[in-house]
Chain A
Amino acid sequence: KNEVEQSPQNLTAQEGEFITINCSYSVGISALHWLQQHPGGGIVSLFMLSSGKKKHGRLIATINIQEKHSSLHITASHPRDSAVYICAAGGGSQGNLIFGKGTKLSVKP
């Protein structure tokens, strides 16, 4: 069992739909990251959170520390949101992150 699990692995949506990507982790964390990676591109940090909820534009990230679960929501999805979204958990005393396998999102016009 992976220490960081994401679901779904693949997601296809129509433009305008509300999207949710889930992440469950079994490691102790000081922070959980949601990252975005376009094909052939580098990694962009979307959110870094240790509690509660954060919002940036159409993106919302929530985390439940007790349940060790986080969600990334995209409202009014757009084709430019098509990318791989990666959940990474860790921090602790050493800090290195453990990455989920990513969710490949494709938003159709």
Chain B
Amino acid sequence: AAGVIQSPRHLIKEKRETATLKCYPIPRHDTVYWYQQGPGQDPQFLISFYEKMQSDKGSIPDRFSAQQFSDYHSELNMSSLELGDSALYFCASSRGRPTRGQYFGPGTRLTVT
């Protein structure tokens, strides 16, 4: 069965650069969630989209933006990167509202140097 796909799997950027992370949900899933897990930290919810509209917002910095496209894939854009942005970013997808559960992608490990 198809799973959630994230790209790239690993990314190294320098401070003040920009990064774009992509998440491809399971086919027919209409909701995408983004989470950030810093080193040794619990995952934290960043933002979610349902039917291409932002549905909820968590602890996402103003330097970050995200959107969901017509094919339901989502991109997380990160600008003016800081060392503290180094983390595992993973997305999850689900179908319908309220969701009955989320399926997780493998994550993108971002390292900011």
Contacts and interface: CB of A to CB of B under 8 A. Distances in A.
Contacts of A98: 45
Contacts of A92: 98
A96 B107 contact: no
B42 A100 contact: yes
Interface residues of A, number: 25
16 contacts: A30-B101, A31-B102, A43-B90, A43-B104, A45-B102, A45-B104, A48-B101, A50-B100, A86-B42, A92-B98, A93-B97, A93-B98, A95-B33, A95-B55, A95-B97, A97-B45
Contacts of B101: 30-31, 33, 48, 50, 91
Residue of B43, B44, B50, B103 ringed by the most chain A CB atoms within 10 A: B43
A44 to B, nearest CB: 7
Interface residues of B, number: 29
Interface of A: 30-31, 33, 35, 40, 42-45, 48, 50, 86, 88, 91-102
Nearest to A45: B104
B99 A30 contact: yes
B88 to A, nearest CB: 7
Given A31-B99, A96-B56, A102 B42 contact: yes
Nearest to B92: A97
Given A43-B90, A45-B102, 20 more contacts: A31-B100, A31-B101, A33-B102, A35-B104, A42-B88, A42-B107, A43-B107, A48-B100, A48-B102, A86-B42, A92-B98, A95-B31, A95-B48, A95-B50, A95-B94, A95-B98, A97-B33, A97-B45, A97-B92, A102-B42
